[in-house]
Amino acid sequence: MPMAGSGPDAGRPDPDALLRTAAQEGRGRLKIFLGAAPGVGKTYEMLSEGAARKRDGVDVVIGVVETHGRAETEALIRGHEVVDRRDMPHEGRRLSEMDLDAILTRAPRLALVDELAHSNAPGSRHPKRYQDVEELLAAGIDVYSTVNIQHVESLNDVVASFTRVRVRETVPDRILELAEIEVVDIPPDELIDRLKAGKVYLPAEATRALDHFFSKSNLSALRELALRRAAQAVDARMLDDVRALGLGGTWAGGDRIVVAISELPGCDTLVRAAKRVADGLRGPWTAVFIETPRAAHFTDDQHARIARTMTLATQLGGAVATVPAENVVAGIQSVLRDLRATQLVLGKSHRSRWFELRHGSIVDRLVRDTPDVTVHVLPMPQAVATRQRARARPGQWGTRTGYAITTAMVGGVTAIASALFQILDLGNVALLYLLPVMAAASLFGLRTGLYAGIASSLAYNFFFLPPVGTLSVNNPENIVSIFVLLGIAVATSQLTARVRAQADLAATSARTNAILAGFLRRIAGVGDRDVAAQMICDDVGRLLDVQVVLLARTQGGDLAILAASDPAYRLDTMDHAAAGWAFDTGSPAGRGSGTLTASEWLFQPMKAGERVLAVLGVASDRAGSPVRPDQLPLLGSLIDQSALVLERLRLQVEMRDVDVVRTRDRLRAALLSSVSHDLRTPLTAVIAAAAQLHHGATPDLIGTIESEAQRLNRFVANLLDMARVEAGALKLRIEATDLSDAVTGAAHDARRALEGHAVRLDVPPDLPLVRADPQLLHHCLLNLLDNAGRYGEPGTDIVIEGRNHFGELRLTVLDHGPGLPPGREDEVFETFKRLEGSDRAIGGTGLGLAIVKAFAEAMGMTVEASNRPDGNGAAFVLVFPSDLIVRDLPTESVS
């Protein structure tokens, strides 16, 4: 057997580790200065190392540093470039936060960001500072940051249990797993002295802290947690690097324990022993069940026993896994290699000498073939082993059908050999009998193959070896032939049975992968959460033969059923309590778990990162856990894939909400801009003209009031038209319209906006009528003319051309202005978009052209923007397709 770390795949890099390594390419590196408590010097150490990097020529800036009034920390800041913070208004106060955009624009090589667990002020791009750091890392910027051990999410409850203080600002463990960690540590007595000297808090706060959080026992416990968490992070990073490089060996920088469980009673003692070993060594541990082909013949009681043992391991804080393998030894060695385990706990059943001679000892083989692993062997109860040994497994000795078919195959080979005996020698006849042996072993298993070997030997002896018709043999050479045939039959049966077992494992793995691929393919393209939830329930229930229910939080905060494989299912009070526990804690609850086992359902959380999205409940009539142990990996994979789909749908909803908010903000900004310019300017002119009326009205004053009032009216009309477009409230009244009349009317109504420009109409009177809404077409032309007057150089002509061009009508408005930036012509039709083309201050909200596009498309027309061929201005074209051109003069309006 292969040794741990030296198997066939031991030198092959782990694909998952390689993918994780490749994912870090182009990203910045994160280094966290981890402390047991405030005041140990994390910020000081971060600034000192940042200064050292700067002296080495690295571009370093301070994103944010909290000195808390410590003079020695403030002194270190003076040598660094500091990015100014951003002020955030909040409830009448001004809060200063790290300016993420400024750092991204500055693009340093290294940014110093203090207090990783900090919560940003409302209105910031990210609610947490560690999310700001993730964006910096994604931009390729290295980050140094600080955090205290009590802010680590997984240790939050542990710290609160002995300090009686629960911090609200936490950092997900995944952030620490991606970072290089440096522990900043000082002894508790020295930290207490610093606290008394006022180097951590003000004197009044220091006295209160000494009586509560900063007791010596608390600081010692926090210090141990920090050192242990750093050791775990270092061990995880070391294992990831080892796997990525494909290096062999256990790499026992830290102890890792594996306990092998089976279907035998008494395996719970192995799990408890592994827990004690793990506690003594302070290392992670995993309970593993090796699923061999014999597991297919387990009874319901045996499956339930395995499930209870795995549940116990989960309750005691261990990981669990089910690993398919050809045999127990190969499976355990595979697990030891993958986990780089240093300790193995397993049980030894009481077996007879004859049994061990025939089958060997698993314990002895593991001790002999895994020299790099310490093996702890615990005896299993003898009475239990005896009862288990006396009970044969279903199908252990083959089936009647298999023996009958094997007998028929031996008989058929005998008949064929008898017919060909005259042209075959005895050696070739013996070879024919290998065919039923291989077929029986492949189809029906090892023991049926052995039966085929014995039957073939007897048939060969009785029918073909002299004296024929007896089982006696006269020639000693024929005796050797019989034993050789029997030996080959046994060896062939064993090899064929082993190949069959491997094929069964491969088929099981392929079937599982096909199930997962089909499941994901069905739900991946769903765009509605309710539909996806129902598909998840239906597919999981069908694949695992269980009842399924999916629960999620409503907007009111209540946990409600989102979907179920049977709509008639109802959950009682205990079931709701178990589901709520699973959702709130992110841990399994209910039947077969360690919490609220009185529930008939087993509830599994569906998590994406640190967020619990929903809870999946399963129930069945099986004893123990509703799901068999061999189905647990499949259930876990189905839950993980379902969680990814639900997370995608949640993010889609959030993105739609974000787009709505952005549109609302853009509208608000545009309205403010309009109020400040487009409303104030004409109002100022009207007020000034009204003041002059006291001295007597003149035609100029009256004209000013009239033009500015029309300007105000046109602006308000644009706002109302845009609101109608966005609300989908446009009502069309399509009529046959004369373009000459439409252009003339629009030019007359826009004369004030076109003041200072000569308007030239070039619309042939023989152009056919078009189907359009006259009022909407009038608005389109007014906005195009207003835009031309706004951007055209004073004293230049504005031309309106109408042409019949290859079966479509094109109405073009040309100005003599700065034109449009090349490549950005289509942007002018975006809402609130203004492309300034000259140095002249030009007003407007950017609504006019957006309204033209919306109205034109509502009428079935298109609008185009480009520069004039001579490059002396812009050209805007209304295109009437052929289906809008009236070929025959209508007698009534078309609606």
- Tell me the per-residue pLDDT of 484-543, one tens digit each, with 9 for 90 and over: 666 766 776 667 666 766 666 666 666 666 666 666 666 766 778 888 888 888 888 877
The confidence score (pLDDT) of residue 225 equals: 80
Yes or no: say if 579 and 571 are a contact pair by the CB < 8 Å rule: yes
AA identity, residue 259: V
Q: What six digits make up the tokens of 374?
A: 């310490």
| Bridge partners of residue 288, in order along the sequence | 260, 321
Cα–Cα distance measured from residue 293 to residue 325, given in angstroms and rounded to the nearest whole number: 8
pLDDT digits (tens, 9 = 90+) for 784-837: 998 888 888 888 889 999 998 888 899 999 998 888 888 777 778 876 566 554
Question: Which one has a higher pLDDT value, 111 or 543?
Answer: 111
Confidence band for 573, pLDDT divided at 50, 70 and 90: confident
Alpha helices in 420-528 (DSSP H): 426-432, 434-444, 446-464, 476-524
CA–CA–CA angle 569, 571, 574 (5° rounding): 155
| pLDDT on residue 532 | 84
Instruction: Give the CA angle between residues 638, 327, 334 to the nearest 5°.
Output: 65
Q: Examine the pLDDT at 744 and tell me if it is beyond 70.
A: yes
What are the pLDDT digits (tens) for 538-560?
Answer: 888 877 778 888 888 887 777 88
Distances (CA, A) of 183 to 229, 233, 260, 401: 10, 11, 35, 68
The listed range with the strongest mean pLDDT (83-87, 143-147, 787-791) is 143-147
CB count within 10 Å of CB 159 equals: 22
Residue 234 has pLDDT above 50, yes or no: yes
159 neighbors 117 (Cβ within 8 angstroms): no
pLDDT over 80 at 17, yes or no: no
Mean pLDDT of the chain: 77
> Higher pLDDT residue, 356 or 712?
712
Task: State the Cα–Cα distance between residues 342 and 256, nearest whole angstrom.
Answer: 5
Integer Cα distance of 296 and 292 in angstroms? 8
pLDDT at 3: 36
Are residues 31 and 182 in contact, defined by beta-carbon separation less than 8 angstroms?
Answer: yes
Give the pLDDT confidence of 176-201 residue by residue, as tens digits: 878 888 888 888 888 777 776 666 65
- 629 CB-near residues (< 8 Å, 6+ apart): 289, 303, 306, 307, 310, 322
When pLDDT is cut at 50, 70 and 90, the band that residue 457 belongs to is confident
Quick: pLDDT tens for 363-420.
888 888 787 788 888 887 654 444 444 344 444 566 788 888 989 998 898 888 888 8
On the 0-12 / 13-18 / 19+ scale of CB atoms within 10 A, 25 is exposed
Residue 496 structure tokens = 């064929």
Instruction: Indicate the pLDDT class of residue 841, thresholds 50, 70 and 90.
Output: very low
Radius of gyration in angstroms for the set of CA atoms belonging to the chain, rounded to a whole number: 41
**Three-class DSSP category at 19:** helix
Residue 577: both structure tokens together: 């309590």
Kindly state the average pLDDT of the residues 737-753: 87
Residues facing 31 on adjacent strands: 144, 180
- Helix H segments across 328-399? 328-339, 353-359, 362-369, 382-390
pLDDT value at 327 more than 90: no
pLDDT at 67 (0 to 100): 78
Residue 750 has pLDDT above 80, yes or no: yes
> Which tokens hold the place of 318?
């261990």
CA–CA dist 114, 592 (Å, integer)? 44
What pLDDT score was predicted for residue 59? 93
Distance, CA of 357 to CA of 452 (rounded, Å): 23
Residue pointed to by tokens 């569906």? 606
Query: Computed from CA positions of residues 527, 533, 538, 544, in that sequence, does the dihedral angle turn out positive or negative?
Result: positive
Mean pLDDT calculated for residue range 131-137 = 91
CB atoms near residue 447 (< 10 Å): 18
Q: Helix (H, G, I), strand (E, B), or coil: what is residue 599? A: coil
The amino acid that residue 459 corresponds to is A
- How far from 196 is each of 59, 148, 186, 427, 430, CA to CA, in Å? 38, 20, 15, 98, 95
Identify the CA nearest to 63 among candidates 24, 118, 123. Answer: 118
Q: What is the pLDDT of residue 679?
A: 59
d(CA 718, CA 725): 10
Cα 438 to the center of its chain, rounded Å: 48
CA dist 346 and 353 (Å) reads 20
Structure tokens at 312: 């116990």
Q: What is the DSSP string of 275-316?
A: HHHHHHHT--EEEEEEE-GGGGG--HHHHHHHHHHHHHHHHT
pLDDT of residue 40: 84
Peptide bond into 764 cis (omega under 30): no
CA distances from 143 to 76, 184, 340, 539 (A): 18, 17, 31, 44
pLDDT score for 517:
66
Confidence of residue 460 (pLDDT cuts 50, 70, 90): confident
The answer on pLDDT for 161 being more than 70 is: yes
Say if CB 169 and CB 117 are below 8 A apart: yes
CB 843 within 8 A of CB 678: yes
Q: In Å, what is the CA distance from 307 to each residue of 147, 267, 300, 304?
A: 39, 11, 11, 5
Q: Is the pLDDT of residue 12 over 80?
A: no
Give percent of the chain with pLDDT exceeding 70.
72
- Strand order across the 589-590 sheet: 559-564, 547-553, 611-619, 602-608, 589-590
Distance CA(578)–CA(582), nearest Å, equals 6
Secondary structure (DSSP) of 217-266: HHHHHHHHHHHHHHHHHHHHHHHHHHHHHT--S---SS--EEEEE-SSTT
Mean pLDDT of 16-22: 57
**What angle separates helix 188-196 from helix 203-211, to the nearest 10 degrees?**
140
Mean pLDDT of the 318-334 span: 81
855: phi then psi, degrees, rounded to nearest 5: -65, -40
Cα distances from 579 to residues 128, 294, 315, 582, 752, in angstroms, run 29, 35, 17, 5, 70
Termini Cα distance of the chain: 86
Does the pTM of the predicted model rise above 0.85?
Answer: no
